[in-house]
């Protein structure tokens, strides 16, 4: 039960009694097991997120929000969510997703991208269109980072290539922030200084990705539990540190959807701490790098 703060008058506040009551009455809210189980079930069904054993995390991420919204208990709030659906569920998702990300994360993938993937694509993609998807893109660091790598690789040869990267997430807040392409100076600490100079403009400790790179990334809402219905298949799907939140069955079904949405010879990057399910149809090329190679497709392993 969430306790709502009583309005305190100024005298109470300065005497300390209101101060005590704020901290005593704004006790950590608790959710009944039934409420938690129903919410966890709904979120797993719709978004794949496995909240098992994370009741305290859910309570702490939602309790101040529901107090601010004027609800008296989790039950009252959740009834509204189930009745009204859409927008309020999006608010929950904004709060329950873990959007941790940073530039130059898992650089082995960037090496592979520049040394193996792009030379492969340059040789085989006669339509000069790279189809790359950052699935679970969070604040966009990953997609912008790969766009910078593509820029470094192609240099002046890149002009006649369509190098746009699709970047998707279920967190509307993350997508909105990503579209702005603005980052605190500290977020750029792992990027080479020359890249910061070349690909960002900075003012007052806030750095903005330059339009040349921003225009290479298209951000969209997409729930990875939904069917993949983008117009084209992908040459590279980057889905790193997302499937760790899914159970085996959800992961296995998602990997199959990814596989169907990958062009023959195309690649899948997953997080280095992640494992693919046993029934994964991709061929493992190296740690965290997988490839779609079918007998019928006839792509040579290192072609
Ligand atoms: C930890 S971040 C990883 C960000 C980035 N890929 C990286 O490795 O730095 C995980 C992201 O996956 C997103 N996510 C979780 N479940 C998702 C789903 N069902 N559909 C789309 N995105 C999802 C979260 O919103 C979050 O932004």
Quick check: 73 pLDDT over 70?
Answer: yes
User: For ligand 1, atom 2, which residue shows the shortest CA distance?
Assistant: 99
Q: How many CA atoms lie within 13 A of 119 on its CB side?
A: 8
Probe residue for ligand 1, chosen from 98, 103, 238, 242 as the CB with the greatest number of ligand atoms within 8 Å: 242
- Residue 15: the pLDDT is 36
> How remote is the CA of residue 95 from the centroid of ligand 1, in Å?
13
User: For ligand 1, atom 3, which residue shows the shortest CA distance?
Assistant: 241
Model pTM score: 0.90
User: For ligand 1, atom 15, which residue shows the shortest CA distance?
Assistant: 242
- Residue 157: the pLDDT is 93
Q: Mind listing the pLDDT tens digit for each residue in 8-45?
A: 333 333 333 343 344 334 444 689 999 999 999 999 99
pLDDT interval class at 203 (50, 70, 90)? confident
- Residue 213: the pLDDT is 98
73 lines ligand 1 (CB under 6 A): no
Section 120-147 average pLDDT: 97
171 lines ligand 1 (CB under 6 A): yes
CA distance 92 to 96: 6
- Residue 267: the pLDDT is 98
Q: Mind listing the pLDDT tens digit for each residue in 163-192?
A: 999 999 999 999 999 999 999 999 999 999
Closest atom of ligand 1 to CA, residue 141 = 9
- Residue 7: the pLDDT is 34
- Residue 86: the pLDDT is 75
């Amino acid at each position: 039960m969430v306790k709502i703060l009583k309005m305190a008058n100024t005298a109470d506040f300065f005497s300390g009694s209101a101060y005590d009551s704020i901290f005593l009455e704004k006790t950590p809210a608790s959710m009944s097991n039934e409420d938690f189980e129903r919410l966890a079930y709904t979120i797993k069904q719709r978004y794949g997120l496995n909240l098992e054993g994370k009741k305290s995390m859910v309570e702490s991420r939602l309790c101040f929000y529901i107090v601010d919204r004027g609800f008296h208990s989790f039950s009252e709030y959740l009834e509204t969510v189930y009745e009204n659906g859409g927008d309020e569920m999006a608010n929950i998702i904004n709060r329950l997703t873990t959007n941790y990300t940073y530039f130059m994360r898992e650089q082995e993938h960037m090496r592979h991208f520049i040394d193996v993937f792009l030379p492969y694509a340059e040789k085989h993609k006669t339509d000069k269109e790279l189809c790359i998807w950052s699935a679970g893109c969070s604040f966009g660091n990953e997609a912008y980072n790969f766009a910078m790598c593509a820029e470094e690789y192609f240099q002046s040869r890149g002009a006649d290539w369509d190098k746009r990267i699709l970047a998707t997430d279920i967190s509307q807040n993350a997508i909105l922030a990503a579209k702005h392409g603005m980052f605190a100076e500290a977020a750029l600490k792992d990027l080479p200084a020359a890249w910061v100079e070349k690909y960002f403009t900075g003012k007052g400790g806030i750095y903005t990705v330059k339009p040349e790179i921003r225009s290479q990334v298209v951000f969209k809402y997409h729930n990875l539990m939904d069917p993949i219905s983008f117009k084209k298949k992908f040459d590279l799907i980057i889905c790193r540190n997302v499937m760790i939140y899914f159970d085996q069955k959800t992961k296995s079904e998602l990997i199959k959807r990814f596989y169907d949405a990958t062009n023959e010879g195309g690649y899948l990057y997953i997080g280095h701490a992640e494992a693919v399910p046993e029934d994964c149809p991709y061929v493992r090329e190296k740690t965290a790098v997988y490839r779609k190679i079918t007998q019928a497709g006839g792509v040579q392993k290192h072609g």
